[in-house]
Amino acid sequence: MDKETFIQKAGSPLFTDRYYKKAASLLQEWNGIEEIKGTAVIGVPLSKPSISHSGACFTPATVRKLFHNYSTYAVETREDLQSSKLTDCGDVLMHATDIKESYRRIEQSIEKLIRENPSLHPIFIGGDHSITYSLVKGMSNAKAGTIGVIQFDAHHDLRNTEDGGPTNGTPFNRLLSDEVLQGAHLVQVGIRNYSNSEYYHQFALEKGIRISTMKDVQEKGILCVIEESLEYLQGKVDHIYISVDMDVLDQAYAPGCPALGPGGMTSRELLEAVYKVAQHDKVCGIDIVEIDPTIDFRDMTSRVAVHVMLEYLRGIDIS
Write the pLDDT tens digit of every residue in 94-108: 999 999 999 999 999
Distances in Å between the Cα of 256 and the Cα atoms of 29, 56, 252, 274, 303 are 27, 9, 10, 20, 10
In a domain, 105, yes or no: yes
Query: Binding site residues, as ranges?
Result: 129, 153, 155, 157, 245, 247
What pLDDT, on a 0 to 100 scale, did the predictor assign at position 116? 96
In a domain, 1, yes or no: no
3-state secondary structure of 287: strand
CA distance 222 to 16: 37
Indicate whether 216 pLDDT > 90. Answer: yes
In a domain, 271, yes or no: yes
CATH number at residue 94: 3.40.800.10
In a domain, 15, yes or no: no
Indicate whether 319 pLDDT > 60. Answer: no
Write the pLDDT tens digit of every residue in 161-173: 999 999 999 999 9
In a domain, 192, yes or no: yes
CA distance 42 to 276: 22
- Mean pLDDT in the chain? 95
In a domain, 8, yes or no: no
In a domain, 10, yes or no: no
Range of the domain at 173: 23-318
What pTM did the predictor assign? 0.96
Indicate whether 4 pLDDT > 80. Answer: no
Closest residue by Cα to residue 175 from 117, 130, 222: 130
Domain count, the chain: 1
Query: Binding site residues for Mn(2+), as ranges?
Result: 129, 153, 155, 157, 245, 247
Average pLDDT over residues 15-35: 93
3-state secondary structure of 289: strand
In a domain, 119, yes or no: yes
Sheet strand arrangement including 210-213: 27-29, 86-91, 38-44, 120-126, 283-289, 239-245, 147-152, 186-191, 210-213
What pLDDT, on a 0 to 100 scale, did the predictor assign at position 247? 98
